[in-house]
Chains A and B, each alone.
Chain A
């Protein structure tokens, strides 16, 4: 399975865009990139996923580089409630393997 690399932690000012990077240099052509987040003591929450095109929904945007070796999750206007651990996952078949993620702290 393709491995992902994320920075362990990031800070973001409230109201500003939060850009969370993820490297997945060994990704295969049929593997999707998924993003989840986990707020303390809760189950992970689905955010967005994509294959090769950029995606946007009501929560976030996902930008995938043309070579698909990295991606960026963008929260356009971060709020205090966006403080969480964000996981970037490369999915192959049924496998969703969680790495350590990025702990995002949104600061007032």
Chain B
């Protein structure tokens, strides 16, 4: 299947700093990517839908100024957690959609720990 790569897989940062997570589709172009977060023992929660060349669409309750999403090319979307706090500690997962009734492929996830 198609490959989606996330980087970094783990990151530890101090409270108040910003962290950028990259999501790349390695062998296909993705006009649409998604960002999820997952807390321990819970399911994935959709944060935002990222469309190449346009502003991301955020789910209700997700602060767009805190979670900055950029989808500047057909193979790269980035999520920046700005002024991170301990409650932002979570498993962040991106996915990329193959157009049509195709599959959604997921990255390996990025575990963020804010101290």
Query: Is chain B found bound to chain A in the same assembly?
Result: yes
Is B97 a contact of A44 with CB atoms below 8 Å?
Answer: no
- Contact A100:B43 (CB < 8 A) given known A41-B111, A43-B109, A94-B49: yes
> Residues of A within 8 Å of B, CB-based: how many?
20
Q: Does B103 contact A (CB under 8 A)?
A: yes
Beta-carbon contact of B104 and A46 below 8 Å: yes
How big is chain B's contact interface, by range?
A: 20 to 34
User: How far does the alpha carbon of A38 sit from the alpha carbon of B44 in the complex, in Å?
Assistant: 10
Contacts of A42 in B (CB 8 A): 108-109
- Cβ contacts A60-104/B at 8 Å (1 or 0 each): 000000000000000000000000000100000010111111000
User: 5 other contacts beyond A34-B103, A46-B1, with CB at 8 A cut-off?
Assistant: A36-B106, A38-B44, A43-B106, A98-B46, A100-B42
Residue positions of A touching B, CB distance < 8 A: 32, 34, 36, 38, 41-46, 49, 51, 87, 94, 96-101
